[in-house]
Structure 1
Amino acid sequence: MTNRLSVSLMAAGGLGLLSVALVRVPGSWWRVLFSGWPVLLPLAASLAVLLLGVLLWRRTTQDHEPSAAPTAPDRHVRPLRSWVIPIGVVLVAAVTWTAVVWLQDSVSMVGDGVQRAQLRVESIRTGLTIGAAVTGAFALLLAFRRQQLAERTQQATEYDAGEKRVTELYVKAADQLGSDKAPVRLAGLYALERLAQDNPVHRQSIVEVICAYLRMPYTPADPGTGRPHAGETSTSRDNEPADTTDTGEPDKPARDSREERQVRLAAQRILARHLRPDTQGGDGNPMYWGPKIVLDLSEATLIHPDFTGCRLHNATFTKAIFSGAAGFVEVWFSGAARFEEATFSGDATFTKAIFSGAAAFGGVTFNGAARFGGVTFSRGAAFDGVTFSGAARFEEATFSGAARFEEATFSRAAGFVGVTFSRGAAFDGVTFSRGAAFDGATFGHGAVGFARLTSSGGGEFAGRFSRGDAVFTGVTFSGGAAFVGVTFNGAAGFAGVAFSGDAGFGGVTFNGAARFDGATFSDIPWFDEVTFRGSRSFEGAMLNGTRYEGPPVAEQP
């Protein structure tokens, strides 16, 4: 659009200058230029329009991303209509005739007949000169169009040749990826990388090819680490048959698993290298492929992947297998991030990552530590049915949307210290085998659900439930449960909760209704300095098999 506008402005400025020159030519050039504002004003305006068009044209030619590939023709040149030439001839004749008649009428009646005849001859000659100038301008426009058409034809030819070459290189590199020799597959990967670097328009398709390669079936030599088994050395394995991976084709030999590992590591490094917008020094990465690259690594096997500092747009890792440690430190997920049913065999680190879109971790298995400290979830975050076999750390994380942890299992310590839940949190059916710490957590708008929760190692809730109800219905605390200093601004429901260990509610403030109906306490609960500003109910509550009516009124401040 800007390119067309610049060409139009240049054409308008040029025609304006031509019109001024043709209309005001009858006198001397100096006399015309200094004849006053009627000439200087349109002349200056035409020059300004022409200069603006040239500047816009230069800007549009410099805004394109550098590329070694030929540029596609920017616009379509329409065929010249059949009536243009006849209309041009008529226009030239009309201008010539009008100029001659006007000049004939302007001949002064003074002087003898010879002088007047000479003036009329001069006026005719001047009128024909104006007609010739118009004819020349029309011919110049036709020549410009012819040159433009020729340049576009040449550009289209070069573009087609370039696209053909790109296609040939693309197909050849893809064929190399199917080779049974690891060096050939590596050469194919690096050829695709160079092709994508030089041809921005093909980057997404090349990324899809690399992702498709990583989605191919592969079993690491050691599913736990991807490295040789403990106690083995490269020397001891030299005399053993190499681990192989079936290619899925009976006419091709199996691939050496150790060689395939190197190829896959190279593919992962290529993706990570070109998805980092900044270098380690903080400068812009010249090899960055842009923020709109989509990754589809569903069911892929990734070996020690490291996407630290990358920007991922609509990244899909559904059912992926992460062999070894996985690094997503300070990654910006600008679109949706899908990790459903993925398996992390080692530690998974998402520290300070940003999820701008929905984050889906439903059914994920974390066999190592899961680190989400300082992570920002701008929209909903789903951790339904997740298995945390190692420590789960969510310290200082921010959930701006709904946070769902229904039926999740925490086999080791779960840390939610300083977490902010802005739109409610659901921990229904969660199992905390080693306890959970919610010290300093903030629960904002929306309900907070801990129904059917099981905590074997105790739970510490030293946070603040700003708005919305807090529901702990049916929760089982096998260890101690500490709610010291918690503020419940909405209703707090502990109906049917089983406290097998100590239950501490010291300094708790219940601004809404507090319901402990049917709760079971194995030991005397601690309600020191508790404040009930709303109604309270302990109907059916039991303490060591006897009826428990709640803390005495005298203990309430």
Structure 2
Amino acid sequence: MSLLSRSPKPSTRPPELRLPRSMWWWALPAALLVGAAVWGVSAWLLQDVGGLDIDKQVSTRIEAVRTALAAGAGVGAAVTLLLAVRRQQHQELAAAHTTHDAAERRVTELYGKAAEQLGSDQAPVRLAGLYALRRLGEHTPALQQTIVDVICAYLRMPYTPPLAPDAAEKPAVPRAALGGVTAPTGRDPHEERQVRLTAQRILAAHLHYQDTPARRWWRPLRADPNDRHWPDIRLNLTGATLLDFDLRICRVRTADFGDATFTGDARFDGATFTGDARFDGATFSGDARFDGATFSGDARFVKATCSGRARLDGATFTGDARFGEATFSGDARFDGATFSGDAGFDKATFSGDARFGGATFSGDAGFGEVTFSGTAGFGEATFSGTAWFVEVTFSGDAGFVKATFSGRARFGEATFSGDARFDGVTFSGRARFGEATFSGDARFDGATFTGDARFDKATFSDAAAFDKATFSDAAAFDKATFSGRARFGEATFSGAARFVEATGLERAELGHVRVAPAAAGVVRVWPPCWREEPGVDGWQTLRLVEPEPDSGEEGGAAEPGAAGEAGG
């Protein structure tokens, strides 16, 4: 294991060795270079020899030839030195390749041996294989993804947790390794539990990543807290059985937990998924915690089942978030969560309380046919796109106090069995509550409807409060049914208003209602028991009137509506 005792360094392959070229590629240029040096030096030295005496010319020519030959010899020596340097480099490169190949063979042997140990029936052998893989990954970064794949493959192997585990954790070394006891046939589930917990801890230890603030010059230099982090890791734990899985404050590239079973609590608090994260069909037997988690890609929890509490407070979903047909048996919390893409919860089931307080939905938010058995809280939530709550069932109270709907809000055929609170809600787009059923109190006090507000065929079994509500555009309550007290005190109607065939408004509270002067083409049809009268500042107001006993269809009860149409 001497290879594993070296200091951690990246495994880099030396430059490729090139085949030696023919000798002519260097011999011919070298000869030409030597000849050129001899000729050039001699020509330079003999250029003024003609003006000398005969005796001096001879001696000068001899010295010039010697000097030229010495220059040629020097050039030849330089060429020889360069060839020697190249030969030395080639030998060093060959030695580096030999060493690298030997190291690669050693790494391959260690990897193969460690992987083989994972198939042993003895728990200590499997543990040794896991630790060997961990050390191999720490010292050979090129194998980190491969080692993670092997560990994930091991966790994907079929496993059934023991039905009645001991109250205390069993030691990592199993009973079969103590006192010469013979190992039992097969794998002890308690021992296998320890092996799997070790595998999970290895993953968590090397995926842990903590964001560090930029270093200032006055701060002392500290050790990198992420020196053990393995970057850009992909997890494939499809169908795996995971025990008390803990990936808090970890960073991974992509993660696939499709159809995985999380026994015990699953912790992903502060985890970062830089790519897609898939939990389709996953089963969470205990609590599932994703508080502060960041999903940079798409996040899928389609048909996931959570038996305990689900907490995603402050989670950030940069891509699309899909929770269609998911089942939350306990409380589900999404307080302060941010959905930058589309968020789909269609046909999901919330058996406990569901909280989305202060959540931000930048894309479309789909809650079609969702069932909320407990309290549903969307207080101060922001919906920038279309909000779909069509055919939703609210068995408990539903709270949307001070929520903001910038796009369309669709609550058609929704069922509110408990109280429904929309106090202070802002509807900037169209608001649709057609055929919705309100069995408890329905409160829209101080709500602002900038676009159309439609409550056609809505049923209000208990009190319906629209005190201080503002209807800037058309307000339609055609065929709506008010079984309890209807309150419109200080409400403002600036656009069209229709209450055709609306029932139960004979005792409605209309104190200080303000009706804007009708513009051209604006039609207002009030209930027969309401009468529009002059108010202050050129506005109109509404007053409740008693129908005459024998007026029939042609009596005064129909006149206020007709007068309203004419005024429109």
Normalised TM-score (structure 2): 0.78
Cα pair 2:336 2:359 within 8 Å, conserved: yes
1:198 aligns with 2:150: no
* Aligned twin of 1:73: 14
Partners in 2 of 1:162 and 1:378 — Cα distance? 43
Change in Cα spacing, 1:111 to 1:200, as seen in structure 2 (3 Å) is same
Instruction: Report if aligned partners of 2:34, 2:73 keep a CA contact under 8 Å in 1.
Output: no
466 and 123 in structure 1: CA distance in 2 versus 1, 3 angstrom threshold: farther
Distance in 1 (alpha carbons) for counterparts of 2:402 and 2:258: 34
User: How far is 1:424 from its partner?
Assistant: 2.1
Contact 2:42 2:67 in 1 (8 A): no
Q: CA deviation at 1:180?
A: 1.0
3-state SS, counterpart of residue 254 of structure 2? strand
Instruction: Determine whether 1:158 maps to 2:99.
Output: yes
Distance in 1 (alpha carbons) for counterparts of 2:274 and 2:455: 44
Distance of 1:513 and 1:105 partners within structure 2: 107
Alignment-derived partner of residue 262 in structure 2 = 322
Deviation (angstroms), 1:306: 1.1
Residue 136 of structure 1: CA displacement?
2.1
How far did residue 289 of structure 1 move?
A: 4.0
C-alpha distance after superposition, 1:502-541 (max 9, x if no partner): 1000000000011111211102310000000111111221
| Runs of 5+ unmatched residues, structure 2 | 1-5, 177-183, 214-221, 485-500, 516-568
Deviation per CA, 1:13-38, whole angstroms, max 9, x where unpaired?
xxxxxxxxxxxxxxxxxxxxxxxxxx
* 1:392-411 paired onto structure 2 within 5 Å: 392-411=332-351
Cα contact 1:277–1:284 (8 A) shared by 2:
no
Q: Which residue pairs with 1:263 in the alignment?
A: 195
Structure 1 residue 554, shift from structure 2 partner: 5.7
Which region of structure 1 is more displaced relative to structure 2, 289-298 or 199-208? Answer: 289-298
For 2:231 and 2:395, how far apart are their aligned partners in 1? 45
> 3-state SS of the aligned residue for 2:253?
strand
Cα pair 1:107 1:116 within 8 Å, conserved: no
* 2:283–2:305 contact (8 Å) kept in structure 1: yes
- For residue 299 of structure 1, give the secondary structure of its aligned residue in structure 2: coil
**What's the counterpart of residue 65 of structure 2?**
124
Matched, 1:526 2:481: no
Pairing of 1:108-123 with structure 2 (within 5 A): 109-123=50-64
8 Å CA contact retained: 2:46, 2:64: no
Query: Alpha carbons of 1:524 and 1:359: their partners in 2 closer, same or farther (altered >3 Å)?
Result: same
The equivalent of 2:327 in structure 1 is 387
Q: Does 1:275 align with 2:207?
A: yes
Return the alpha-carbon distance in structure 2 between the equivalents of residues 212 and 370 of structure 1: 27
2:145 matches 1:187: no
Q: In the alignment, what sits opposite 1:430? A: 370
Match of 1:216 in 2: 157
**472, 476, 490: which one aligns with 2:415:** 476
Q: Conserved in 2, the CA contact under 8 Å of 1:420 and 1:443? A: yes
- 1:137 aligns with 78
Contact 2:440/2:463 (CA < 8 Å) preserved in 1? no
Q: Would you say the 8 A contact 2:34–2:75 is kept in 1? A: no
Specify the code of the residue in structure 1 equivalent to 2:251.
R
CA distance in structure 2 between the partners assigned to 1:263 and 1:280 by the alignment: 32
Matched, 1:455 2:394: yes
Q: Deviations over 1:486-517 (max 9, x none)?
A: 00000001111111111000000000011111
- Quick one: distance in 1 between partners of 2:40 and 2:416? 104
Q: Deviations over 1:238-257 (max 9, x none)?
A: xxx99xxxxxxxxx933111
- Classify 1:160/1:91 alpha carbon distance in 2 versus 1 (closer, same or farther; 3 Å): same
**Residue 298 (str. 1) matches residue 256 (str. 2):** no
CA RMSD, 1 decimal: 2.7
Counterparts in 2 of 1:290 and 1:107: CA distance versus 1, 3 Å: farther
Per-residue deviation at 1:389?
0.7
Give me the whole-angstrom Cα distance separating, in 2, the residues matched to 1:105 and 1:390: 105
- Cα deviation for residue 211 of structure 1 reads 0.5
2:513 maps to amino acid: E
Residues 88, 138 of structure 1: 8 Å contact kept: no
Between the aligned partners of 1:357 and 1:202, the Cα distance in structure 2 is 25
Q: Secondary structure at the match of 2:302?
A: coil
Structure-2 separation of matches of 1:102 and 1:441: 94
Residue 474 of structure 2 corresponds to which residue in structure 1?
535
Q: CA 1:161/1:535 → structure 2, altered by over 3 Å: closer, same or farther?
A: same
Give 1:360 deviation, angstroms: 0.7
Q: What secondary structure does 1:322 align onto?
A: strand
Per the alignment, residue 298 of structure 2 pairs with 358
Task: Quote the sequence identity (%).
Answer: 46
- Which region of structure 1 is more displaced relative to structure 2, 171-180 or 78-87? 78-87
Change over 3 Å in CA distance of 1:549–1:81 after alignment to 2: farther
Aligned residue number for residue 25 of structure 1 = none
CA distance in 2, matches of 1:218, 1:330: 28
Does 1:149 pair with 2:149?
A: no
Matches within 5 A, 1:35-46: none
Q: Distance in 2 between matches of 1:417 and 1:84?
A: 78
Instruction: Flag the 1:548–1:128 CA change in 2: closer, same or farther, 3 A.
Output: farther
CA distance in 2, matches of 1:321, 1:433: 25
Who is 2:532 aligned against? none
> Offset at 1:148?
2.1
Aligned twin of 2:453: 514
**Aligned-pair CA distance for 1:549:** 8.4
Secondary structure at 1:255's aligned position in 2? coil
Higher helix share: 1
Cα displacement string for residues 357-413 of structure 1 (whole angstroms, at most 9, x for unaligned residues): 111111111111111111111111111111111111111111111111111111111
Find the partner of 1:177 among 118, 123, 145: 118
Letter in 2 for 1:255: R
Counterpart CA distance in 2 for 1:102 and 1:467 is 92
Q: Secondary structure in 1 aligned to 2:258?
A: coil
Q: Per the alignment, do residues 521 and 103 of structure 1 end up closer, same or farther by CA in structure 2, a change over 3 Å counting? A: same
Structure 1 residues 470, 279: closer, same or farther in 2, change over 3 A? closer
CA distance in 1, matches of 2:288, 2:446: 37
**Which amino acid in structure 2 is aligned with residue 174 of structure 1?**
A
Comparing 307-316 with 146-155, which one deviates more in the overlay?
A: 146-155
Q: 8 Å contact 1:272–1:310 — kept in the other structure? A: yes
Deviation at 1:234, TM superposition (A): 8.8
Q: Distance in 2 between matches of 1:340 and 1:234?
A: 31
Greater mean alpha carbon deviation, residues 115-124 or residues 347-356: 115-124
2:406 matched to which residue of 1?
Answer: 467
Q: 2:330, 2:352 within 8 Å by CA — same for their partners in 1?
A: yes
Contact 2:253/2:273, CA 8 A, preserved across alignment: yes
Give the C-alpha shift of residue 101 in structure 1.
Answer: 4.3
Tell me the secondary structure at the aligned position of residue 330 of structure 2: coil
In the alignment, which residue of structure 1 is the partner of 2:311? Answer: 371
- 1:203-256 Cα deviation digits (max 9, x unpaired): 11111111011011111124xxx844xxx7799xxxxx99xxxxxxxxx93311
400-409 vs 111-120, greater mean Cα deviation: 111-120
8 Å Cα contact 2:329/2:352 also seen in 1: yes
Provide closer, same or farther for how the CA distance between residues 162 and 433 of structure 1 changes in structure 2, counting only shifts above 3 A: same
Report how far residue 466 of structure 1 moved. 4.6
Q: Specify whether residues 438 and 108 from structure 1 end up closer, same or farther in structure 2 by C-alpha distance, changes over 3 A only.
A: same
| 1:458 partner amino acid | D
Q: 1:88 maps to which residue?
A: 29
Q: Does the 8 Å CA contact 1:70/1:158 hold for their aligned counterparts?
A: no
Aligned residues: 472
